A = this chain, B = another copy of it.
Amino acid sequence: MSEPSDIRAQAETWLTAFDSALGARRIEGVTSLFDADCFWRDLVAFTWNVKTLEGRDEIAAMLRANLDATRPSAWRIEGDPVKADGVLQAWIRFETKHARGRGVLRLKGDRAWTLLTTLDELKGFEERKAGKRAKGIAHGVYKRDKTWSEAKRAEEAALGAEKQPYCVIIGGGQGGIALGARLKQLDVPTIILEKNERAGDSWRNRYRSLVLHDPVWYDHLPYIPFPDNWPVFAPKDKIGDWLEMYAKVMELNYWASTECLRAAYDERAEEWTIDVRREGRPLRLKSKQLVFATGAYGPPREVPLHGIEAFEGECYHSSQYSTGEPYEGKSCIVVGANSSGHDIAADLCEYGAKVTMLQRSPTTVVRSDSLMELGFAPLYSEEAVRAGIDTNTADLIFAATPFRVMPRQQIPIYQEIRKRDAAFYKRLAKSGFRVDFGEDESGLAMKAWRTGSGYYIDVGASDLIASGAIAIRSGVEIQRVNARSVELTDGAELPADLIVMATGFQSMNRALAPIISEEVADKVGKCWGLGSGVAGDPGPWEGEPRNMWRPTQQPGLWFHGGNLHLSRHFSQFLALQLKARMEGLDTPVYGLQPVHHKS
């Protein structure tokens, strides 16, 4: 082990050289400070994009394009750098022409292995919080026009009528709400459109037994973290109530019972015209920016079923499933063996249905306890909180690892999990259920990033499968549907009163088609996925989730979404991009991604 002062000196030396090369615009001087195997991930600070530059050449190209406009300065180490396994990690702060930033530097020897730079706040447009919070009353000035509540009501009445929003967000789940909260704090006039009656209904309307599979430390929203008495895994309705409260106290312009019918972009005026139906009444909005925050997925993926027209039972997509209550004693087929398939099969089983799950391809299954301990605990756990790793710190440490490097770090976790839970996997295999850990054995998190599917965090269904309470048929699909049964591709016939298609969802860009056009959905291309080349995530390698939280091929159009973690962290970067544009700051986008896949 090196001494703390040596570690700090090493980090300081690197940062001083980096600062000086950047200041002198000596791009080769900059790249010579990086290892040959190097990554610079930038979240909006240098590239006005979400971008990982891999290798010295990509770094040099980015700097040639954007260094002059960025004008970075004031680099400094924050807190105490640490060293483990030969890698030095230091927190850094810096400034650019328009912003203040925060980052994470990782050195191998005296060269940088990874660098993360993130935009933290825009100069002159800092949020009014903590020491800069609003006073709330103008002391000594009593000629106020309006009280807080009168001003709020007036703003609500005006926005979308005599005053048009700068930004419209379609979708008022955690994505729309977290982004809306950030934009509110940045004074960006915004309307959130939500088709359901109340904020939180996107959770309440899901199936009865749904409980979050991610733990509380991973799920906080910005500004108001869950309280200490919040359960580790929150039931869906509790999350629903929290979101409803949050939208209210954060004073969002949240239009519930509002459907977005059409949106069209005027390229000349650089403006959207958006037709909505609000509580039954048609209304036209104008906005400069339009954000789709309609979840992590697009429309349901419908799989054609031969003979379905003659089926006398019920058949619907998993997104329509509510409760197993009507199915006691009934024969139920669940097609698909990922998260929803497991939850629904278990819920049906709980109500006394006879359930068969059809597993079309292997699933990455991990016991919740094991994933919490080995996957989440270093950053998102009570231990992490006690070690001083708050949510923002955890998010940045997580973001500091480039996607190219992530699989190598994940593989040992799953080696340990397989060893630790060998008996569990053995029982599961005996039932006929097929488990995998991804083509490169990198496990659950990489499956989520690459394809958004193919996994289940076990909170109980696996035991039901292992014990036979849920029957499993693996490697088969439905060949045809009869009046009261299904025939499988292996020739077997199963009685069927209910078929639930837990077959997943299309890409998020397909949600554009009915609202904007098929052309724009194609022009923008597929959302999510990294281009890793595994099944479900075809190449070429793109290095960042496609289209998320950053400029797309369609000006004025943005995607925001994902789980609570991503909705929390990336709402920061999307909100700052929108604010910068509203204020007319220079925002040269580096490396706008070409489109390789339409869906």
Contacts of A209 in B (CB 8 A): 144, 147
Contacts of A350 in B (CB 8 A): 142-144
Contacts of A133 in B (CB 8 A): 216, 228-232, 382
The contact of A231 among B136, B142, B211, B385, by CB within 8 Å, is B136
> Quick one: CB contact mask for A344-358 with B, threshold 8 Å, 1 for yes?
001101100000000
Q: Determine whether the beta carbon of A185 is less than 8 Å from that of B229.
A: yes
What distance in Å separates the Cβ of A372 from its nearest Cβ neighbour in chain B? 10
Given A143-B350, A208-B147, A232 contacting B136 (CB threshold 8 A): yes
Binds B, one of A14-22, A48-56, A237-245: A237-245
Contacts of A140 in B (CB 8 A): 459-460, 463
Q: Determine whether the beta carbon of A149 is less than 8 Å from that of B235.
A: yes
Chain A count of residues within 8 A CB distance of the other chain = 60
Cα distance, A250 to B459, chains bound together (Å): 26
Contacts of A238 in B (CB 8 A): 148-149
User: Residue of B at shortest CB range from A223?
Assistant: B227
What distance in Å separates the Cβ of A196 from its nearest Cβ neighbour in chain B? 16
Contacts of A138 in B (CB 8 A): 460
The contact of A245 among B143, B212, B249, by CB within 8 Å, is B249
> Quick one: CB contact mask for A151-194 with B, threshold 8 Å, 1 for yes?
01000000000000000000000000000000001000000000
Q: Determine whether the beta carbon of B459 is less than 8 Å from that of A137.
A: yes
Contacts of A535 in B (CB 8 A): none
Binds B, one of A123-131, A265-273, A300-308: A123-131
Given A137-B211, A230-B133, A382-B130, A237 contacting B147 (CB threshold 8 A): yes
User: Residue of B at shortest CB range from A458?
Assistant: B139
Contacts of A74 in B (CB 8 A): none
Q: Is A464 an interface residue (CB 8 A)?
A: yes
What distance in Å separates the Cβ of A235 from its nearest Cβ neighbour in chain B? 4
What distance in Å separates the Cβ of A280 from its nearest Cβ neighbour in chain B? 26
Cα distance, A212 to B209, chains bound together (Å): 43
A323-352 contacts to B (CB < 8 Å) = 346-347, 349-350
Q: Determine whether the beta carbon of B228 is less than 8 Å from that of A130.
A: yes
Given A223-B228, A228-B129, A369-B139, A237 contacting B460 (CB threshold 8 A): no
Contacts of A10 in B (CB 8 A): none
Q: Determine whether the beta carbon of B142 is less than 8 Å from that of A460.
A: yes
Cα distance, A234 to B135, chains bound together (Å): 8
The contact of A349 among B142, B216, B233, B347, by CB within 8 Å, is B142
Contacts of A136 in B (CB 8 A): 211-212, 231-235
Which of A231, A234, A385: most chain B CB closer than 10 A? A231
A58-74 contacts to B (CB < 8 Å) = none
User: Residue of B at shortest CB range from A221?
Assistant: B227
What distance in Å separates the Cβ of A307 from its nearest Cβ neighbour in chain B? 32
Q: Is A224 an interface residue (CB 8 A)?
A: yes
Q: Is A134 an interface residue (CB 8 A)?
A: yes
User: Residue of B at shortest CB range from A130?
Assistant: B228
Contacts of A231 in B (CB 8 A): 133-137
Q: Is A517 an interface residue (CB 8 A)?
A: no
Q: Is A420 an interface residue (CB 8 A)?
A: no
Q: Which 9 A-B pairs have the closest CB atoms?
A: A136-B231, A148-B235, A149-B237, A129-B228, A136-B233, A245-B245, A223-B227, A129-B229, A134-B231
What are 16 A-B contacts with C-beta separation under 8 Å?
A127-B229, A135-B233, A136-B231, A137-B231, A137-B235, A137-B460, A139-B368, A140-B460, A142-B347, A142-B464, A148-B235, A148-B238, A149-B237, A223-B227, A242-B249, A245-B245
Residues in chain A within 8 A of chain B (CB atoms): 127-131, 133-144, 147-149, 152, 185, 204, 208-209, 211-212, 216, 223-224, 227-235, 237-238, 241-242, 245, 248-249, 346-347, 349-350, 368-369, 382, 385, 458-461, 463-464
- For the A-B complex with A142-B347, A241-B249 known, give 8 more contacts whose Cβ atoms are closer than 8 Å: A134-B231, A136-B235, A139-B459, A140-B463, A143-B350, A148-B235, A148-B238, A224-B224
